[in-house]
Amino acid sequence: MSQTINREFGTIITRLIQKKNLTRNEAKQAFVCVLNNTVTDMHQGAFLAALTAKGETKEEVAGSWEAIYDLDTTKVKLNHEIKTVDNSGTGMDTFKTFNISTAASIIAAAGGIPMARHGARAITSVCGTVDMAEALGVDVECTADIVAKSIETVSLGLFNGMSPHIHPMALGRILSQIYFGSTLNIAASLANPALPSIGVRGVYSREMIRPVSDVMQEIGYQNAIVLHGSIEDSDKGMDEASVCGITHCAQIQENKKTNEFTIDPKKLGLAVKNHTELSPEQDIETESKRFAALINNQENSARKDAALLNAGLIFLAARKAKDVEDGIQQATKLLEAGTAFETLENWVKAQNTDPKKGLKKLHRLMQ
């Protein structure tokens, strides 16, 4: 690490502290320095903190995504006929829910929608996407090829964003050392090895909806919904569609137009729920048991409504539903018929180096 590189990198940090924006190429080159570890850890942390505190522009997010995808993402090839869909949240939201996106993805996969998920372990929540999948019996440390095969065979797979199999150079090193939300919550989550063209993505603030939708369109998404859910009579929000208040959305369409709309759970026949009902349990073991019960249709609660609403939006984004109501109806049938739990079992078997061990772990949760 030369003093010259660190000094030049320091000027970038100073500009961010002064609330000055970077170009896409400047952001890309800065992230190249971080990924290559050519500047000190102190400079890397200061850069991420300063960029987050300033507020990222779409050019800065696109530049950081480009660096991560080009330099530090394992590429996979799927059957060209499969149009993969991603569903994830950025984290950093002010209200932490149970893992709604995972529940919604399982239900959508049960409807034959190929879900290529890309997530991480918890940074600011009790249980992240990878933590939950692991607790259910999925092998989250497997190779990218096993994940790709799982997507092709059972319509569901999860790329572990903190695994060296998926991001072999630096991403796991960085994410394991920071405990605050950063630009990586957006840029890194978009660095999906399957490069999906369809997605539903929750963001941590309403102000990030359009910047993230613009970035997704720029990097190749053809159909996508970017959203932020509110909580009625509260200043808190979530990176999921909400059954506790209005959800603000921006929908990217193939004609490259963006349609903004809102979802009112009352108009969908979903009574506004007490938001505390969506909170995760205090430990992953208790939470995973309750999550498995939900997928097995043993929960009639705000959790079920939240899972169905978010699954319905995946059906809408994938053009498998004419509107949100139709998507919710399809999701409800799949959950209540037991198809969602069968899909969960099939996922545990397919994304595993030891399927029997994984299924045993899942079935133990149901006892």
Q: Per the annotation, does 213 bind a ligand?
A: no
Q: Per the annotation, does 183 bind a ligand?
A: no
Contact in structure between 101 and 127 (CB atoms under 8 Å): no
Alpha-carbon span 232 to 223, nearest angstrom: 29
Alpha-carbon span 105 to 317, nearest angstrom: 12
Alpha-carbon span 273 to 98, nearest angstrom: 14
Contact in structure between 82 and 213 (CB atoms under 8 Å): no
Q: Per the annotation, does 102 bind a ligand?
A: yes
Q: Per the annotation, does 112 bind a ligand?
A: no
The label of the residue with tokens 């692991």 reads 134
Contact in structure between 121 and 345 (CB atoms under 8 Å): no
Q: Per the annotation, does 97 bind a ligand?
A: yes
Q: How many residues can be counted in the chain?
A: 367
Q: C-alpha 360: how far from its chain's center? A: 27
Q: C-alpha 257: how far from its chain's center? A: 23
Alpha-carbon span 227 to 241, nearest angstrom: 7
Contact in structure between 278 and 302 (CB atoms under 8 Å): yes
The contacts of residue 139 (CB under 8 Å, 6+ apart) are 146, 351, 352, 353, 354, 358
Q: Per the annotation, does 81 bind a ligand?
A: no
The label of the residue with tokens 């409800």 reads 332
End-to-end CA distance of the chain: 54
Q: Are strands 198-202 and 247-252 parallel, antiparallel or unpaired?
A: unpaired
Q: Per the annotation, does 101 bind a ligand?
A: yes
Residue 226, beta-bridge partner list: 201, 250
Q: Provide the annotated binding site.
A: 89, 97, 99-102, 129, 239-240
Q: Provide the annotated binding site for 5-phospho-alpha-D-ribose 1-diphosphate.
A: 89, 97, 99-102, 129
Q: Provide the annotated binding site for anthranilate.
A: 89
Q: Provide the annotated binding site for Mg(2+).
A: 101, 239-240
